[in-house]
Amino acid sequence: MEKLLEGKCEACKAGAPLVTSEERKTLMPQIPSWDVIEVNGIEQLTCAFAFKDYLAGLDFLKKVAHLAEEEDHHPEIVLEWGKVTIRWWSHKIKGLHKNDFIAAAKTDALFSE
């Protein structure tokens, strides 16, 4: 099985394939804290991370922002007191691409640091 942490996000163009249900079955166990939600008909990966205070959450948000720039793949990030919620999806294909799973796994690794 390919390890998501070892992956690199690739440029995603309109028409790129969405992750299939079979692929999802092998990818989701690598990011067990993430859920698939649907927003306006678009599937997205989402996870909320807990912190002791606002500034700790802000530090994590900055790490995720740097990851997003490195991977050239950008999530929605919501910062609240004691919590940061991240949502990954591929805007151009209006759904989930392998990039989203790679980015989610790398987000988990940042949280574990």
Which residues have C-beta within 8 Å of that of residue 13, sequence separation ≥ 6? 92
Instruction: Tell me the domains of the chain and their CATH numbers.
Output: 34-112 (3.30.1360.20)
User: 16-75, pLDDT tens digit by residue?
Assistant: 889 999 999 999 999 999 999 999 999 999 999 999 999 999 999 999 999 999 999 999
The alpha carbon torsion through 74, 107, 105, 88 (nearest 10 deg) reads -30
Give, as one character, the DSSP assignment of residue 91: G
Q: What is the pTM of this model?
A: 0.93
pLDDT at 5 over 80: no
Closest CA to 80 of 101, 100, 58: 58
pLDDT digits (tens, 9 = 90+) for 95-109: 999 999 999 999 999
